[in-house]
Amino acid sequence: MLTNQIGYYSIILGLIFSVLIFITSLKDLKNIKILNKKIFFLSFFQFFFVLLSFIALIFLFISSDFGNEIVFSNSHSTKPIFYKIAGAWGNHEGSLLLWLLVLTLFIFLFLLNSKNQPIKYRILTLVYQQIIIIGFFLFILLTSSPFNYLYPIPTEGLGLNPILQDPALAIHPPILYLGYVGSSIVFSASLAATTQNYISKAWAKNIKIWILISWIFLTIGILVGSIWAYYELGWGGFWFWDPVENVSLMPWLCLTALLHCVLVLEKKSLLSSWIIILSISTFILSVSGTFLVRSGVLNSVHTFANDPSRGIFILVFLFILILFSLIIFFFFKKENKDEKIKIFWLSKDTFILINNWFMMYFLSVVLIGTIYPIFLEVLSNDKISIGPPFYHKLIIPVLIPFLILMSFSQSLSWFKSKIDKINVKLILVFIISIILSFSIAKIAGSKNLYNSILVSASLYLFLVSIKDFFNRYKSYAQSISHFGFSLLILSILLNGILSTEVTANLKVGEKFIYKEGSIEFSSIKSYQKNNFKSIVGLFKIEDKKKNYVELEPELRIYNQPITITSEADIKTTIYSDKFLVMNKVKGDDYFNVRYQVKPFMIWIWISTFLLAFGGSLSLFRRINEK
Amino acid sequence: MKNKFILPSLIIFFTFCFIIFYNSLENSNSYIPKDDFDTKLPIFNSKDFFSKKEISSQDLFVDNDYYILNIWASWCAPCRKEHPELMKLSKNSSIKIIGINYKDNLKNAKKFLNDLGNPYSTILIDDDGTISIELGAYGVPETFIINKQNKIIQKFRGALNTESIEKINLILK
Amino acid sequence: MKFLKFLIILVFIFNTAYSNENRSELINKISKNIRCLICQGQSVYDSNSDFALSVKLVIGKKIDQGDSEKEIYEFLEKKYGEWITYDPAFNKKTFILWTLPILLFLIGGAIIFRKVNVQK
């Protein structure tokens, strides 16, 4: 009860600090020195109170205080302590509080980190950020307070959806939010810089840190989400083009474009308008994502409790943000004389523009694919589904020129390069990659021409990035990230092309023999665990080459709430994953068994990690530079 | 470059998006297929529930003016609820009720009929659910009204209620 | 340009064999593109609901009858509406969906082309 009160009033205090920041910024605008100090403290206290309220919420979850409404509906006393804590942000209200916590933390860190920047720019960033922060405070207080209490106090909670009881998913939302919220700093800072006409090389240096932070966390957040889908959902896939996944991919694409583009600004103070547009769009896409996910207008596997009043709030908030940024952009953005200068075509700048071009194309495909059904339904009352085939048809063909152009760009320098620099070695690498890819196609029993060309292109990029890696000593960060990206594309393609699967209905003692080997269902056991009953099957699998594996997939019957989940058993090696999942066939002794061999699965995770690792190296270098 | 028209048109564009999303909040996000009436009943073969003889739908829907096709299962609770309505309808001799027993255990199904009565003139077995797919059904229970020309003229998804019974009586008149 | 020719020739040399997909692969392929009606947001391939299991059986039956992939999609669309396929057809409802991204791509290309100087 007391903790509840502390949590609730801390939020209100936090909101009051927002208002205070507004008032003092306006009042003391002339006396900047004093203001600077004041604001620093105000934003620290704001962060402190939000943190206090968040800690109160975690405490309520740990102590299983079912007098709190969201503890009651999302937790259970038998739940392991780790998931009790994770339960604090595993629901709508708690996750918003987490958003707010990161928002206030980041703006505080921004103030700490930007001491060498113009004071007016810093303060304006803070003020713009407060608009977002106030929006979230109001959202929490008006529509989704995490501190509503119940009376009489229930003795037991309803439990957390077992599919969410997974370590990867417990850390997934916080990481993703760090990414989303990082982009909010980029948003406010770019608007502040526009107002102050401070879009310059120095600004680019400062903001790049935040772009990197946001990008790194988004990358890892998406990675963890995919890992969760792969290990927990039990379908053997890691990316389903589900609307909720798309929503996290969109800001990532936008941010990736921005990350490259800001380099041009830093080196040559070009493209400033475009950079502002990208900065604004990234955050707008993040908030739109929250709208689409939380309002329930999307049709997705990932179900969230939805409430129309919340949807309306976020929608109005989003609309205000868009209007606000449009007005600032159109009234304050000064024309830059340098912008008129054309870029020489064989330079790094051109290829960064091309990178942006492709990123925007991918973004438009994902965005249109995600929201088109919503528009169509409102306008014509027709319902359609847009799924993997749509995205594959529009994205994969464009991947071929994208990969080839990207591999060319690696050897270019700023300003001007000469054509003869593109040398014989590269052509040799090109031929090698074609031969390799067709040999792979042959081994795999050659599916089609299209795949072979795709693999050639990505192999080429891969080999060029390896070559690049040994050639250059300047920027390891960039080489690692690009190498990671090429490896990612290559492993996704090979994984997609070379994966095989068999399905069979088996009962204990039966053996299923197919073209490539055999699966034997040798035994079944059941255990009673703390909050679920577990049924484990033992399968012996042998392939043509007499390779033998034992896999033990599991069915879990959770008691609170009653749900059956299917846990796949996965044996991972550096070459491939062996993935087996079983499901009960209704009213029978039979189990439906799906066995998949997925080559290079682990490389998808490793390469995405490398991508983010490259980004982190770059981030540390930048922080140390100062 | 900064054209006078860009800002207003962007604002109009975003307002348009706002209106669309605002309206989309009211739409339900669960999908129910649109009912497409006047489609011909597909031809299917199955076994009779009691005699286990092969029956073709062509031999079944011949002389009557109206048929009611009802997909049911003993494990389905709404089926149990709507059963009395079917019993009442079966008293009307001008119609024939044909049952499709969906993915059921034969013993339980027989017990179900013994307990609650058998309104069906014929019951066909659909143990793998494929006949229901042919009929365009996706759950149990579902009820179809079929006319003399073997066309589906009405569909009810879920248990029959008083409203749907009224509709049926209106058609039968 | 010589290079491209070389590439094309290579492609044809290596790509003579087209394997025909066998039955279960085809079922998987089709069921991945069919949306499950009662477990919204999952494909029939991924779902274990009664509906999804029956649809998989029906797809198998249709293949045995000699129906083509396209005919199977058409059959299911006729029964359950366009919503059931993940791959929206190109028609008057969806032409914006298919063409808008491509249009944006072309516009983006044009903008870059204007921005870039080809001469020294």
The nearest alpha carbon in chain A to B32 belongs to A383
- Cβ proximity of B150 and B43 under 8 Å: no
Q: β-strand A511-514 against A517-528: which pairing, if any?
A: antiparallel
Contacts of residue B163, Cβ cutoff 8 Å, sequence gap at least 6? none
Using DSSP's 3-state secondary structure scheme, residue A269 falls into: coil
Range of the domain at B82: 36-172
Mean pLDDT confidence for B109-134: 89
Contacts of residue A61, Cβ cutoff 8 Å, sequence gap at least 6? A71, A75, A84, A85, A87, A88
Concatenate the DSSP letters of all residues of A473-541 into one string. -S-HHHHHHHHHHHHHHHHHHHHHHH-EEEEEEE-TT-EEEETTEEEEEEEEEEEE-SSEEEEEEEEEE
Portion 17-56 of C in contact with B at CB < 8 A: 37-38, 40, 50-51, 53-55
Domain boundaries, chain C: 19-87, 90-120
Tokens 């994205």 locate to A395
Q: How far apart are CA A137 and CA A55, in angstroms?
A: 17
Tell whether B26 lies on the interface with A, counting CB pairs under 8 A: yes
Q: Is residue B90 part of a domain?
A: yes
Residue B70 sits in a domain whose CATH number is: 3.40.30.10
Alpha-carbon gap: B93 to the closest alpha carbon of chain C (Å): 31
Domain count, chain B: 1
Name the amino acid, one letter, at A600.
Answer: F
Q: What is the pLDDT of residue B62?
A: 80
Q: What is the pLDDT of residue A216?
A: 97
Q: β-strand B54-56 against A548-551: which pairing, if any?
A: unpaired
> Phi-psi region for residue A535, left (φ > 0), alpha (ψ -120 to 50) or beta?
beta
Whether residues A350 and C87 touch (CB distance < 8 A) is answered with no
Question: With contacts defined as CB-CB under 8 Å, which chain C residues touch B128?
Answer: 53-54, 57
Portion 225-254 of A in contact with C at CB < 8 A: 233, 235, 237, 240, 242
**Which of C27, C30, C42, C54 best probes binding to B when mutated, by most B CB atoms within 10 angstroms?**
C54
What ipTM was predicted for this assembly?
0.88
Closest CA to A291 of A321, A315, A316: A315
Tokens 């975003």 locate to B14
pLDDT, tens digit (0-9, with 9 covering 90-100), for B30-85: 677 776 666 788 888 888 888 888 888 888 888 778 889 999 998 888 898 899 98
Q: How far apart are CA A161 and CA A157, in angstroms?
A: 12
The radius of gyration of chain C's CA atoms, rounded to the nearest angstrom, is 21
pLDDT band at residue C11, thresholds of 50, 70 and 90?
very low
**What CATH number is given for C19-87 in this structure?**
1.10.8.640
Whether residues C7 and A452 touch (CB distance < 8 A) is answered with no
Whether residues C51 and B138 touch (CB distance < 8 A) is answered with yes
Q: What is the pLDDT of residue C18?
A: 35
Q: Helix A32-62 vs helix A119-143: angle between axes, to the nearest 10 degrees?
A: 30
| pLDDT at position C20 over 50 | no
The nearest alpha carbon in chain A to C8 belongs to A453
Q: What is the pLDDT of residue A104?
A: 94
Q: Is residue B8 part of a domain?
A: no
Phi first, then psi, for residue A363 (nearest 5°) are -60, -45
Q: Where are the beta strands (DSSP E) in A319-433?
A: 343-344
* Positive/negative CA dihedral, A582, A585, A588, A594: negative
Closest CA to B138 of B155, B124, B161: B155
Whether residues B30 and C61 touch (CB distance < 8 A) is answered with no
CA distances to A156, A238, A502, C48 from A226, rounded to whole Å, are 33, 5, 23, 21
**Which of B31, B32, B103, B133 best probes binding to C when mutated, by most C CB atoms within 10 angstroms?**
B133
How many other C-beta atoms are found inside a 10 Å radius of the C-beta of residue A482?
A: 24
pLDDT, tens digit (0-9, with 9 covering 90-100), for A457-516: 899 889 888 887 776 555 788 889 999 999 999 999 999 888 888 888 888 888 888 887
Q: What is the pLDDT of residue A401?
A: 93
Whether residues B133 and C83 touch (CB distance < 8 A) is answered with no
Task: Give pLDDT < 70 ranges for chain A.
Answer: 163, 234, 299-307, 336-340, 411, 413-423, 444-447, 471-474, 560-561, 586-588, 626
Question: With contacts defined as CB-CB under 8 Å, which chain C residues touch B103?
Answer: 50, 54
Q: What is the pLDDT of residue A561?
A: 67
pLDDT, tens digit (0-9, with 9 covering 90-100), for C73-117: 999 988 888 889 999 989 888 999 999 999 999 999 999 888 887
The radius of gyration of chain A's CA atoms, rounded to the nearest angstrom, is 26
For A311, the closest of B7, B25, B31 (CB atoms) is B25
Name the amino acid, one letter, at B49.
Answer: F
Q: Is residue B13 part of a domain?
A: no
Tell whether A350 lies on the interface with C, counting CB pairs under 8 A: yes
Q: What is the pLDDT of residue C12?
A: 45
Closest CA to A608 of A249, A178, A280: A249
Question: With contacts defined as CB-CB under 8 Å, which chain C residues touch B36?
Answer: 78
Closest CA to A563 of A13, A41, A161, A50: A161
Contacts of residue A301, Cβ cutoff 8 Å, sequence gap at least 6? A233, A240, A242, A244, C40, C41, C42
Q: How far apart are CA A218 and CA A208, in angstroms?
A: 15
